[in-house]
Structure 1
Amino acid sequence: MARLTREDWIAAGYESFSAAGITAVAVEPVARALGATKGSFYWHFADRRELVDAVLGRWRELETEHLIDEVERVQPASARLPALLELIARRTGRRSGERTLYADATGPVRAVVSAVTERRVAYLASLVEASGIAPDEARRRAVIIVSAVIGYQQLVSGGWDAASDPRSLVDTLHALASGAS
């Protein structure tokens, strides 16, 4: 059996998070999934908190920073807001871990979730503002849109079949962001 790396543990922890939320990122279940011992875990991490931090770092990178990078490559700049909303709608049904993250965010996890949420709101507000909306109003709309996406994830996780028509979500969010009716 090949020796496990820190990256292997983070990847397995992220898989657990993606499937069942942040509470699923625990040493013994992740070790079982890897076919490893707890001793192997402690070779790479001081404690569960360190693994959770690494998993949340990966979540931030994959679900926020990579999306922003992708949207920033869209040309012309005026197409970025619709592109971001399209990406969000397409990914909503596949983001299982995040669906419970806001409810489960306590202690240090809450600080990370708050920082990621602020990054998302600020970026979205910048796109809304670039479409001609005043800064204060752009921020309000961005907060409402991020809140709507989180709520939408909750509805989908509860079995509501709205994910079968992501186009309606994109169209509604775009109208909200741009002020169109």
Structure 2
Amino acid sequence: MLQPSSRQRGSKDLWLDAAYEMLVSDGIGAVKIMALAEKLNLSRTGFYWFFADLKELHVAMIERWENKNTGNLVKRCNKPAPNICTGLFNLMDCWLDPSLFDAGLDLAIRNWARVDGDLQIRLNDADRIRISAVADLFQRHGFSADQAHVRSLTVIYTQIGYISMEVEEARQDRLARVQHYVEIFSGIVPSRSDVDEFLERHI
């Protein structure tokens, strides 16, 4: 009996990427095996080379979201920084670089969690991890535990607001505002050299 070729099967990442695109554009209800097969122009049976069922695909999607969005946010918070402003600029890289943090995916996950109680628990855990990472950043730079916690809430809830409202703004406008967000979040005016170093990464 002939085995299906790799062209007929695709790859695990190919199926997963297609599922992400469908999730972001149409919501979790649209992520079906047949719909994915049609999107990829592959055999439906190819899916089962990589996933036992749709539930296993869902698990892989959630794990990839956790590793990318929450994982990269924590890494940016833990990146060595000489001062709190530089530390916050490192974090703000996430909001401007989709390879670090996918805002559309985060919104899709939040919408999915509204109809999936188990995912809502994992989303709540992810938000706690993010808030804790930002709070630790503030504490490492001399802020009290209470100040660090409230400031971290302000940082994370501001970004959740951007995501949930699907705010659209010109990239240059947002870049120009970041230094002011850093000042508001920290209470410290960032140095010109810190601002320039951040802008050079994104222009």
Residue 134 of structure 1 deviates from its aligned partner by 0.9
Residue in 1 that maps onto 2:110: 102
Structure with the larger RCO, 1 or 2 (CA within 8 Å, 6+ apart): 1
Which of the two has higher C-alpha Rg? 2
Q: Identity over aligned residues, as a percent?
A: 25
- Contact 1:13–1:25 under 8 Å retained in 2: yes
Residue in 1 that maps onto 2:198: none
What is the RMSD of the two structures over their aligned residues, measured on CA atoms?
2.8
Higher helix share: 1
1:89 and 2:99 equivalent?
Answer: no
What TM-score do you get using the length of structure 2 for normalisation?
A: 0.72
Residue 23 of structure 1 deviates from its aligned partner by 4.2
Residue 179 of structure 1 deviates from its aligned partner by 2.7
Code of the residue aligned with 1:45 in structure 2: it is: F
Q: Secondary structure at the match of 1:152?
A: helix
Residue in 2 that maps onto 1:10: 16
Selected match of 1:161 from 169, 173, 179: 169
What TM-score do you get using the length of structure 1 for normalisation?
A: 0.79
Q: Which runs of structure 2 are paired with 1:35-114 in the superposition (5 Å)?
A: 35-70=41-76, 72-76=78-82, 78=84, 79-85=86-92, 87-91=93-97, 95-105=103-113, 106-114=116-124
- Contact 2:130–2:156 under 8 Å retained in 1: yes
Q: Secondary structure at the match of 2:142?
A: coil
Distance of aligned partners of 1:145 and 1:69 in 2 relative to their CA distance in 1, 3 Å threshold: closer
Residue 21 of structure 1 deviates from its aligned partner by 4.5
Selected match of 2:139 from 105, 129, 132: 129
Distance of aligned partners of 1:48 and 1:131 in 2 relative to their CA distance in 1, 3 Å threshold: same
For the residues of structure 1 that align with 2:59 and 2:78, how far apart are their CA atoms?
A: 27
Structure 2 unaligned blocks of 5 or more: 190-203
- Contact 1:22–1:97 under 8 Å retained in 2: no
Code of the residue aligned with 1:178 in structure 2: it is: S
Selected match of 1:151 from 126, 143, 161: 161
For the residues of structure 1 that align with 2:78 and 2:123, how far apart are their CA atoms?
A: 22
Distance of aligned partners of 1:28 and 1:15 in 2 relative to their CA distance in 1, 3 Å threshold: same
Code of the residue aligned with 2:90 in structure 1: it is: A
Residue 109 of structure 1 deviates from its aligned partner by 1.8
Residue 166 of structure 1 deviates from its aligned partner by 1.5
Structure 1 unaligned blocks of 5 or more: none
- Contact 2:28–2:112 under 8 Å retained in 1: yes
Q: Secondary structure at the match of 1:161?
A: coil
Distance of aligned partners of 1:73 and 1:134 in 2 relative to their CA distance in 1, 3 Å threshold: closer
